[in-house]
Amino acid sequence: MAEEELKKAQTDEARARNISHNVRCTECGSQSIEDSQADVAILLRKLIRDEIKAGRTDKEIYKKLEDDFGETVLYTPKFDMQTAALWLSPFIVAGAAAMVWVYQRHRRKTNVHIMALDLIRGVPLTEKEKQTMLDLLTPPPPARKMPWWGR
């Protein structure tokens, strides 16, 4: 019997710590209440443990904290129309970067001079001829200037 109570106490403590790591200290702002020693963080940790003892689920505890302290108390904002841009912004930025990369790569392969030579000759250039033309037409990279302290 004592072993079951010990396991339950350990499980409850692990739940409390997990929830505390996901809740922002309202006084500190940048720390979780698990890492903060502010008075409000200590009170919130006690509140979480009391809610766990009362048999509340993690979801119910997060909802209570959000209702009492506002949405910013949680590190993970919920997904809705207001936060969609926040959640989707990494994908939008990655997609835009991929499109720029593909465009730049395509632009390098379709050089206007090579296209003009193809039209003038009436016969497309071979891959070797294209590469030779690109080597001739591509300007060298700009020389890097030494910083003033390295001269």
Residues 97-147: tens digit of each pLDDT: 999 988 887 766 666 667 777 777 777 878 888 788 777 777 777 777 777
**Cβ neighbours, 10 Å, residue 3:** 7
Q: pLDDT value at position 151? A: 58
Integer Cα distance of 90 and 133 in angstroms:
39
Token pair of 113, please?
A: 């001079």
Q: What is the pLDDT of residue 113?
A: 67
Q: What's the whole-number average pLDDT of the chain? A: 82
**Which two tokens mark 63?**
């909802």
13 pLDDT more than 80: yes
User: Over 70: is that where the pLDDT of 150 sits?
Assistant: no
pLDDT cut 70: percent of the chain above it: 87
**Arithmetic mean of pLDDT, 78-94:** 78
Q: What is the pLDDT of residue 46?
A: 92
**Measured between alpha carbons, how far is residue 136 from residues 5, 124, 131 in Å?**
79, 18, 9
Q: What does the block give as tokens for 96?
A: 């835009």
Angle, CA 23 vertex, CA 22 and CA 27 arms, to 5°: 145
| CB neighbour class for 25 (10 Å; exposed up to 12, middle 13-18, buried from 19) | buried
The answer to whether residue 52 scores a pLDDT higher than 90 is: yes
What per-residue confidence (pLDDT) applies to 99?
92
Q: How far apart are CA 25 and CA 39, in angstroms?
A: 10
